[in-house]
Amino acid sequence: DTGVSQNPRHKITKRGQNVTFRCDPISEHNRLYWYRQTLGQGPEFLTYFQNEAQLEKSRLLSDRFSAERPKGSFSTLEIQRTEQGDSAMYLCASTAGTGQETQYFGPGTRLLVL
């Protein structure tokens, strides 16, 4: 068990560019969550996958955001036409089972949009 990993750890981009982040959950964890954390705030839910199915999306997830989880393994989060307001830490968490098990978080990807 190597934990949840996220890449890249840091990303600096110019406004208007597209960026993609990757999350590798703990193996055999069928549930995967994306959160966004801005400075001085708690994480906010973005989207949820159960296996490969995206079952919930927050209103925070505008149409510039898209997430996938092909084959129910790793997940990607893409932001198109980035804006300065997208600057944040993007966190991924995974868990197993069907109840309220603990979510295990990755180290996050810090995005800075110039």
Binding site for other proteins (CB under 8 A): 31, 33, 35, 40-45, 48, 50, 55-56, 91, 93, 95, 99-100, 102-108
Q: Which of 56, 83 has the CB closer to other proteins? A: 56
Q: Is the peptide bond before 8 cis (omega within 30 degrees of 0)?
A: yes
Nearest approach, Cβ of 45 to other proteins (angstroms)?
Answer: 4
DSSP 81-101: S--GGG-EEEEEEEE-SSSSP
Question: How many helices, marked H, and strands, marked E, lie in the chain?
Answer: 0, 11
Q: Which of 17, 51 has the CB closer to other proteins? A: 51
